[in-house]
């Protein structure tokens, strides 16, 4: 069982509330989403593992069981071309849960007309594989979002 923890402090809202049909329809995979606090912050690794994909607006960490977790910082933020995002890790790095990966400012993303809501997705998983999915309420960075068996 892999516990996936929140990369951000904010409010858990569940995938259905994400303003993007690809995420809200769980087409990328099951999981949940965090509406982050509006302050400059660091998105941290949700699991121990290896950074296999890294962009200013999104990263994937794969744990020792082969579970890949996508953290997508905001919606349509790829259109910002990295502006306002600072990489704190590199592709191929081994990271520990809670280690900062990207520094960003959700308020600045919002000012540019994008949603800062951040999906946290279990890649190549079935909905049945996830348990105790947090879909509402306040969440602290590092707090469990869901379990993945």
User: Which tens digit of pLDDT belongs to each residue from 120-143?
Assistant: 999 999 999 999 999 999 999 999
Question: Does 144 map to a domain?
Answer: no
Six-digit token string for 54 = 């890294």
Is residue 140 a part of any domain in this protein?
no
Concatenated DSSP letters of 35-83: EE-SS-EEEE-SSSEEEEEEETTEEEEE-TT--EEEEE-SBSGGGGTTT
Average pLDDT over residues 11-32: 97
Asked if residue 120 lies in contact with residue 70, where contact means CB atoms within 8 angstroms, the answer is yes
Both structure tokens of 88: 């704190």
User: Which CATH number fits the domain that encloses residue 95?
Assistant: 2.70.70.10
Q: How far is CA 132 from CA 19, 34, 83, 146, in A?
A: 23, 15, 35, 5
Does 67 qualify as catalytic in the annotation? no
Q: Copy the structure tokens of residue 30.
A: 């099951």
| Residue 114: inside a domain | yes
Q: What is the pLDDT of residue 103?
A: 98
Domain hosting residue 42, numbered range:
2-135
Q: Does residue 73 belong to any structural domain of this protein? A: yes
Residue from 55, 57, 67, 72 carrying the catalytic annotation: 72
Per-residue pLDDT band for 104 (boundaries 50, 70, 90) equals very high
Mean pLDDT of 36-64: 98
pLDDT tens figures, 57-97? 999 999 999 999 999 999 999 999 999 999 999 999 999 99
Q: How many domains does the chain have?
A: 1
Asked if 42 and 144 count as a contact pair (C-beta separation under 8 A), the reply is: no
């Amino acid at each position: 069982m892999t516990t996936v923890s929140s990369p951000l402090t904010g409010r858990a809202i569940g995938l259905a509330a994400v303003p993007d049909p690809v995420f809200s329809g769980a087409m990328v995979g099951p999981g949940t989403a965090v509406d982050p606090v509006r302050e400059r912050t660091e998105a941290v690794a949700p699991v121990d593992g290896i950074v296999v994909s890294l962009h200013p607006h999104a990263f994937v960490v794969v744990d020792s069981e082969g579970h890949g977790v996508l953290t997508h910082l905001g919606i349509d933020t790829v259109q910002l071309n990295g502006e306002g995002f600072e990489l704190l890790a590199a592709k191929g790095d081994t990271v520990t849960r809670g280690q900062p990966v990207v520094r960003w400012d959700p308020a600045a993303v919002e000012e540019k007309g994008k949603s800062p809501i951040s999906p946290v997705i279990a890649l190549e998983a079935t909905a049945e594989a996830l348990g105790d999915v947090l879909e509402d309420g306040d969440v602290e960075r590092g707090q469990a979002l869901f379990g993945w068996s």
